[in-house]
Structure 1
C-alpha cells in the first residue's frame, strides 16, 4: 500500500512538473497574471487542468507572434518569444509575466473599467422611439442622462427641464457621435441609441478585444506618436503626457492603414511622390483616360523602362500605356504629399504626410487614403518633435532629432479621463 501511495505521489508530481500555469490544480502566480492579460471566457473551465494549461501556452505564443509581426524592428528579448523560452528554462515565469503587463495609463484605465462592468453595474436602456432633435422633449432624454452617467460620461446639468435635449446635452451627443463615426447631428437618433444601448456584456466583449490589442505595444516610453486609426486621431506624447493632438485621414476599408510599431525616420521637406503601381492602375490611369490633361496639370512626369530622363504625360498613349512605366509627381502646391513627408521604416511602405486638400478634415468619417496617414497639422507635428523647418523651397531630407516611436493602433474603445469612448469599427475587425 505504501509503495502504491508513493507511486501515485511520484506520478502526480511529474504531471504537475509539466504544467506552466498551474500548481495543485490552481492557477499559480504566472497563470493568474496571464489570465488577467488574456481575459478568457468561462468555457476554459470545462477543460482539464492539462488542457487549460496548454491552451494558455498556445494563446500566449500567439500574442508573442502577433507582437513580433506588429513591430517593424527587433524588440527587446524579454518582449519576444526568446524571452518566454528563457523564462521557462530558468523557472522565472512569475516575474516574467509581471513584466508583460502593459505599462500604459490607457491600458490600466480600460482594464479597470472592464472589471467594473463585470461587477454588475446599473444599466438603464434607452426606450425605443422617434428621433429626438435639439430643444425637443421626450421621456428618453431622462434615461439618456442616466445612461451617460453609467458610462462614465455624466450629462451636463439641465438648462431647464430634464426631459429636454438642450444645447449642452446635444453637444455631448455630438462628441460621442463624432468619436463613434456617426453623423454629428446632436440628435438622439437610431444609430446613437444603438451605440449607447449596448449591455454591460456587449461592452465588456468590445473592451476585451481592445485590451488584447494593447498587448502588442512595445514597452512604454515617455515619448511617442500614437495614431488611433478608427478615431482618425494622432497624439504626440512627451514626458508621458499628450502635448499635441490632431485629426488625420486613414486608409479606406479596401485599402486599410496597417497596425504597426516603428520609428520616425527622416523628414522630407517639399517631397516628390512616386505612386505605387496599384494607385496608378486604379486611380491615376482612369483619371488620365477620362481627362487627357490630368497628369500634366498635376505636375507628373513619366519614366519609361530603360530611359534615363522622363517624358511628359502628353507623350504617352494612355489608351494603351507602355508596361512598366513609373509616374513621379514633382514638388509643388498640387503634390499629393503636400509640403512634408514623415518617413518611417515598415514593410507596408506607409508613412505620414501633409496634403493639399484640407477640406477633407471637416468630414466626420475620414477613411479616405490608400493606407498612408494624412496629417491636418504636419508643421505642428514636425516642430513638436523637434525639427527646425527650413524656409526655402527645395527638396531636403532632414534626419530625426531623436529616435521617436510611432504606434499605429486600432482602438475602438478607450478611456478619456473617466469616460468610456467609442470609435466606429471602420475595418470590421471587432467581428473577426
Structure 2
C-alpha cells in the first residue's frame, strides 16, 4: 500500500514538473514574441519619425527659399556691369585714382576690391578684405591706390588698410595696428583723403568736421554752423573741404599747409549761395573748377568755382535745372564737368551739364534707396550702389557732350593740323559711342 502511494506521489510530482516546464516555455515564447513586436514597433516609429523629420526639414527649406527675397533684376542698354559679390547691403563705393580699382563696403563685414578692366567681361571677380568684429559703412582709396580707409560702424572710428601684392599675384589686406581715436558724437556722413596725401577728413551729421593727419592725430575741427550736416567731401585737388546741410548754401574751406608740409590752419574759402532750401549733396569736377549741387528746392545748380576767393571773388552760377530729389539724394559730376547725375530714391537721372537737358532716365536701378553715386576717373563709367549690387553704366551722355564740344571747336579751328586732330578725336568718340549703344543689353 505504501508502495502504491509512493508511485502515485512520484507521478504527481512528475506531472507538476512537466506542467511547470510547459508553462515556463510558453511564457518565454510569449516574452520573445512581445520583444519582437516591441522591436518592430520601435523600428516603425523610428522610420515614421525619420520621414517626418525629413519632411519637416524640406518644408523649412522651402519656406526659407520662399521667405528669402529674390535678387532685384535690372537691365538697360547702358548697363555695363552688375557687381554682385556682397551678401549684405552696399553702403559706399570709391574709384582709385589710378583708375584700376573700385572699392565697395557692405554690412557683410567685408570690403571688396573690383578690377575696372573686368567691367565689360562676363565674370566680375573681386578681392575681399575682412573687417574683424565690425563692418565698414564708408571706404576711400589713398592717393597712391595702395591703401584705403574705412569708417567702422560699431567702433565709430577710422581704420586704415594697406594693400600689398603676394608672390602668387593675389592681394593681401592688413589693418593698421591702431584705429583713429573716436571723436565724433553723431552719425558719420562721409570720410575722405586729400589727393595731396596731407590730411584725412571725417564729417558727422551734427555740425562737426574733423581734419586728421595720416597717423590719426587730430589737426583741426570745423563747426559748419548749418544746424545739421547732410553731406561733406574733400575736393579732388586736395585743397578744399566742403559741406552742406539744413541751410540753403554750400560752405567751402581751404586746408592750409606750410612749404615744409606742416599744418597751418583751416581757412574759409567761399560759399555757394542761390538755393532756396537745404542742400542734399554736391560734387566736384576733377579739377575742382566746377561744382554741382542738388537741393530740397527741386533744382540742381552748376557753379564755376575757378575764382580768386582770396580777393573776395564769388563763384559764378552757370545753370539752374529743375529735377526730382529727396532726402538722401546723391550728386555726381563727370571728371570733365560735362555730365551731371542725380539720384532720387532708386532712380538716377543723367543731364548734359552744358545745356541742362535730360539725357538718360534710369528707373528702378536698385530695390532700395541709392547709397552712393560716382563717376570713375576716366569718365567712361557711372557707378551706383543701393542694395546688395553695384550697377555700372556707360557714360553715353559724356561721349555725346565731347563730340558736340569738339564739333564746336572744329568750326573755330584756324590751322589744318588742329582740324585734322579734331576730326580724328570726333571719329574716335563716335566709334566709342556706337560700340556702347550696340552692346548687348545687360
TM-score normalized with structure 2 length: 0.24
Q: Which has the higher helix share?
A: 1
For the pair shown, which has the larger CA radius of gyration, 1 or 2?
A: 2
Query: Larger relative contact order (C-alpha < 8 A, sep ≥ 6)?
Result: 1
